[in-house]
Structure 1
Amino acid sequence: MKLGFLGGAGTVTGSKYLVEHAGRRLLVDCGLFQGLKPLRRQNWSSLPVDAASIDTVVLTHAHIDHSGFLPRLYDLGFRGRVIATEATVALCRLLLLDSAYLQEEEARYANLHGFSKHAPALPLYTQDSARKVQSLMAGQAMDSAFAPLPGLTARFSYAGHILGAASLHLSGEGRSILFSGDLGRSDDLVMKPPAPPPAADVVLIESTYGNRSHPPGDPVQQLGEVISRTAARGGIVVVPAFAVGRAQALLYMVQQLKRGGRIPDLPVYLNSPMAANVTSIFQRHADEHRLSPEDTRGLCDGVRIVTTEQESRTLNTLHMPSIIISASGMATGGRVVHHLKAYAPDARNTVLFTGHQAVGTRGAAMVGGATQVRIHGQWIPVRAEVANLEGLSAHADREGLLAWLAALPRAPRHVYVTHGEPEAADALRLSIQADLRFPCEAAQYLQSVEI
């Protein structure tokens, strides 16, 4: 069995891990590269292997940095199976179409306003490709054995993080690999904690927060403080939020704050039809999260769900304190960038991020103190307050990652640290070696190892 790192190595995006066994090829995760321009350019390149030679793709979860390359893979010739948990399949049906739509819209907008260097600007893939690759997807239950390739046995285990997120255990010919996927938190407000990991010879572990601990304090209280002080100065709170998981957590927190009289009764706008649709998926997978049926049904009570482009444009002309929750979570695209153009220049407003911002994204620039950001070919001044509630992250921190590894029934022969910026990955590597004494290294892009 051979393992190759085609993404998610040296970066926190683009997760793709190639397993070769008995002349067959399995791709674990199929994510988009995001952030820095050199990374984004890789999405346009051919894979280091022929896409048509890949027999099966197995997804650990639905986030675009783990699933968003699938339509592009289809365009490159892939026609195999795509296997994921039932909730991941349901979420991908929303996320992949949305990703394609956003790329089509950005290309259209660039061509309309002439700010692209390409003539014409083209989307990476289309909604048609997203629909076609979805026809290859099949759901698989948690904790149930399946065969992704002849001679290999696989099993998903619960990883927390978002609905459907799973760790993946692969075994064959007396050898085994465990892919952590993105691990959630034991104290997550919405999601249940990850399951203890099974034993494996080789373990791949994510390192998004591998060099830090989550800050202390109550994130609900902190959110209330941001909203209250923004409202007091007559401003608007713009929250870039991932449509899956983060948007639902924010809605739940705002409902709690309002019911407790801890914030003013401001209008709340959810400018993400997909986030609204995800609520119904939460209801169907109640065993994976902590919300009661009543809380799940009430997530959107009193919330204005914005569906049309005209309604979205109208949000840019608000004149009273309000809360706008809109995708994407790192402000890399989507409707939220139009809200940033409208509200970032005004010091009364707040742009509130709620978790990790990958290097090279607008979110990272703004959290890092940028006084202007480039949107649609223009430099937009940032005078609004910029806050980041990292306590809302859906990723396990350094202590959570080490605790998950420490729960392994036996020591692995080797650990590869993946899915993290170089500093985070190397910091986690050092912690694993010092605290757990496991042989460990940070995976490198295009590295290939025999298992």
Structure 2
Amino acid sequence: MKLTFFGGAGTVTGSKILLEVNYKKILIDCGLFQGLKELRLKNREPLPINLSDLDVVLLTHAHLDHCGYLPVLVKNGYQGKIYCTEATRDLTEIILLDSGKIQKEEAERANRYGYTKHKPAEPLYDVDDAKETLAHFKTFEENVWHAIDEEIRFKFINSGHILGSVFIVLEVKSKIFVFSGDIGRKEPILLHPYSYIQKADYLVIESTYGNRIHENVSIEDELLRTIKHTYTKRGILIIPTFSVERAQEIIYILSVLKRKNLLPNIPIYLDSPMGVNATAVYFKHTKNHMLTTADINSMIATVELISNIDASKAIVNDDNPKIVLAGSGMITGGRVLHYLDKYISDKKNSVLIVGFQAEGTRGRALLEGDREIKFFGKYHKIQAEVFKINAFSGHADQSELLDWLTHFTSPPTLTFINHGEPHQSQALKTKIKTDLGWNCTVAKMNKEYYLS
């Protein structure tokens, strides 16, 4: 048996883990690299797997860094199935179609304005490639064993990270493998909390926040404070928003504040076709979250959902105070760039960061105090105020990761720590060894790990 990490090792992006068991090759997640250019270039490198030998892909959840490379896999000849939950399948459809559209648009823009070294710039994949990928999906229920063959079976268990997200448990010849994907919060805003697992011979655990504890603050109060501060300046509040989970959480909190009559009388927009579609999927899968019918109706009444491009342009060009939620969450693309293009150089406006920002992203540059950021082929001076709510996270912090680990009845033979920047993964490794006494290692990119 052998594990190889082709992504998500030493970084929080591009998750791909290959499990080889004699005659079977199983890929856990198939994500896109984002952030630093040196990472993004890896998306153009051929995956060192013979795709005709790859038997199946198991998907933990629908975030782009876990599913965004799937169309490349299919485009390059993968003919097998992609297994996931129904909610993950529905969200992945939205995310891959949007990704294909954005990549094509960005390539066309780069060619039109000449800010590319490639002649011509080509998208990694397009909408047609994404549509072809969707034909490979097969969905399965959670908490039930499903057979891959006579000797291998798997089970999906709720991880509480986003709608439909799961831990993957694989039983191979009496050995248990557990892949965490991304682990949610112990007390999430909308979802059911993560489930505990009792046994693993080999465990792969994420470490996005392996070195820190989330702030124990009122998200409602923090959000309201930023809204009121911007409103007193007669400014515009721009919230770069992850379309899946974060957008729905913010809309819910805004609806609560509205019901309490605490919000200024200004329009609120979710200007993101993907965010709008993801919200519809969210409302469809009522068993996967804790929202009531009254909650959903209140959310719909609080925020205007924008998909139409002409409506979006009109909102961008309206200088009156407003709150705008727009993708992408790390400002790597999407409609948020059009709002920043017009408003980021005006000090009466505000930008609120509400999620993890990977190295090399424009969101990270804002948080680190850069005075200008580049997009649309030019540099933009940052005059708007930049705020961050640290408590807004879909990832477990160090204490929550330890809480999840302590429910194993015995230590795994070996625990692999991945999906974290190096200092985060090393910090979690030290914590696990010190507090639990477990045998663990930080996963290395492209290194082969042979297992007994």
Give the TM-score, by structure 2 length.
0.98
Tell me, in whole angstroms, the C-alpha distance in 2 between the residues paired with 1:262 and 1:282: 26
How many angstroms apart in 1 are the aligned matches of 2:191 and 2:282? 10
Which amino acid in the other structure matches residue 169 of structure 2? H
Alignment of 1:263-282 (within 5 A): 263-282=263-282
Following superposition of structure 1 onto structure 2, how do residues 132-281 of structure 1 map, counting pairs within 5 Å? 132-148=132-148, 151-281=151-281
| CA drift at 1:24 | 2.0
Counterparts of 1:404 and 1:97, CA distance in 2? 34
- Secondary structure at the aligned position of 1:387 is classed as strand
Is residue 447 of structure 1 aligned with residue 447 of structure 2?
yes
For residues 76-128 of structure 1, the C-alpha deviation after alignment (integer angstroms, 9 at most, x for no partner) is 11111100011101111111101111111111111222212212111110111
Report the counterpart of residue 328 of structure 1 in structure 2.
Answer: 328
Q: Output the CA distance in 1 between the equivalents of 2:274 and 2:380.
A: 27
Q: Note if contact 2:251-2:302 (Cα within 8 Å) is conserved in structure 1.
A: no
Q: Which amino acid aligns with 2:153?
A: T
Determine if contact 1:32/1:64 at 8 Å carries over to the other structure. yes
Whole-angstrom distance in 1 between the partners of 2:201 and 2:365:
39
Taking the aligned partners of 1:297 and 1:273, their CA distance within structure 2 comes to 20
Cα distance in 2 for residues equivalent to 1:19 and 1:299: 42
- The residue number in structure 1 matching 2:388 is 388
Q: CA deviation at 1:348?
A: 0.7
Counterparts of 2:150 and 2:116, CA distance in 1: 46
Contact 1:283-1:293 within 8 A present in 2 as well: no
Q: Check 1:117–1:314 CA distance in 2 against 1; reply closer, same or farther (3 A cut).
A: farther
Q: By how many angstroms is 1:149 displaced?
A: 5.0
Q: How does 1:393-412 map to 2 (within 5 A)?
A: 393-412=393-412
SS of the residue corresponding to residue 373 of structure 1 reads strand
Q: Which moved more, 1:223-232 or 1:141-150?
A: 141-150
Looking at structure 2, the residues matched to 132 and 297 of structure 1 have their Cα atoms a distance apart, in angstroms, of 35
Q: Which residue of 2 aligns with 1:6?
A: 6
Of stretches 115-124 and 59-68 in structure 1, the one that deviates more from structure 2 is 115-124
Q: Name the stretch that deviates more: 135-144 or 47-56.
A: 47-56
1:419 aligns with 2:410: no
What is aligned with 1:51? 51
Residue pair 2:159, 2:182 contacting (<8 A) in 1 also: yes
Counting only pairs closer than 5 Å after superposition, residues 8-87 of structure 1 correspond to structure 2 as 8-87=8-87
Separation in 1 of the partners of 2:117 and 2:149? Answer: 43
Secondary structure, in 3 states, of the residue corresponding to 2:446? Answer: coil
Instruction: Rate the CA distance shift 1:49–1:267 in 2: closer, same or farther, 3 A.
Output: same
- 5+ unaligned residues in a row in structure 1: which ranges? none
AA in 2 matched with 1:64: L
Alpha-carbon offset, residue 423 of structure 1:
0.9
Amino acid at match of 2:215: P
Separation (CA, whole Å) in 2 of partners of 1:362 and 1:150: 48
SS, match of residue 391 in structure 1: coil
Distance 2:385 2:445 in 1: 37
Residue type of the alignment partner of 2:248: Q
Q: What CA deviation, in whole Å up to 9, does each residue of 1:197-245 have, x standing for no partner?
A: 1301011100111111101210111000001100110110111111110
Find the residue that maps to 1:190 and give its secondary structure. Answer: coil
Superposition deviation, residue 312 in structure 1: 2.0
* Amino acid in structure 2 at the alignment position of 1:117: K
Q: Whole-Å Cα distance in 2 between the matches of residues 142 and 265 of structure 1?
A: 43
Cα deviation for residue 266 of structure 1 reads 1.4
Query: Matches of 2:26 and 2:301 in 1, distance apart?
Result: 43
2:429 counterpart of 1:435: no
Q: CA offsets per residue over residues 378-417 of structure 1, 9 Å max, x none?
A: 0111111111112011111010011101111221111111
Task: Tell whether the 8 Å contact from 1:14 to 1:65 is kept in structure 2 after alignment.
Answer: yes
Residue by residue over 1:314-358, the C-alpha shift from the partner in whole angstroms, topping out at 9 and shown as x without a partner, is 222222110010111101111111211111111111111111111
- Summarize deviations over 1:225-281 as a string: whole Å, max 9, x none: 001100110110111111110000011111111221222021011111222222232
Superposed CA RMSD in Å reads: 1.2
Task: Kindly indicate whether the alpha-carbon contact (under 8 Å) linking 2:258 and 2:302 is maintained by their aligned counterparts in 1.
Answer: no
| Rounded Cα–Cα distance in structure 2 between residues aligned with 1:354 and 1:85 | 27
User: Is the contact made by 1:26 and 1:149 (CA closer than 8 Å) also made in structure 2?
Assistant: no
Cα distance between partner residues in 2 of 1:294 and 1:194: 24
Are the equivalent residues in 2 in contact too, given 1:176–1:201 (CA < 8 A)?
Answer: yes
Mapped to 2, the partners of 1:447 and 1:231 lie a distance apart of 52
Of stretches 255-264 and 374-383 in structure 1, the one that deviates more from structure 2 is 255-264
Task: Give the 3-state SS of the residue equivalent to 2:57 in structure 1.
Answer: strand
Instruction: Tell me, yes or no, if the aligned pair for 1:61 and 1:84 is still in contact at 8 Å.
Output: yes
How many Å apart are 1:442 and its aligned residue?
A: 0.7
Aligned residue for 2:147, secondary structure, equals coil
Give the C-alpha shift of residue 431 in structure 1: 0.6
CA contact (8 A) 2:56 2:82 kept: yes
**Equivalent position of 2:356 in the other structure:** 356
Which deviates more, 147-156 or 21-30?
147-156
Match of 1:365 in 2: 365
> What's the TM-score, normalizing by structure 1?
0.98
Task: State, as a whole percentage, how many aligned pairs show the same letter.
Answer: 39
Give the secondary structure class of the aligned counterpart of 1:295.
helix
Give the letter for the 2:450 counterpart.
E
Contact 2:276 2:307 in 1 (8 A): no
Residue 379 (structure 2) pairs with residue 340 (structure 1):
no
Question: Secondary structure, in 3 states, of the residue corresponding to 2:44?
Answer: coil
Q: Distance in 1 between matches of 2:112 and 2:235?
A: 31
Matched, 1:88 2:81: no
Runs of 4+ in 1 over 4 A off after TM superposition: none
CA shift for structure 1 position 150: 5.2
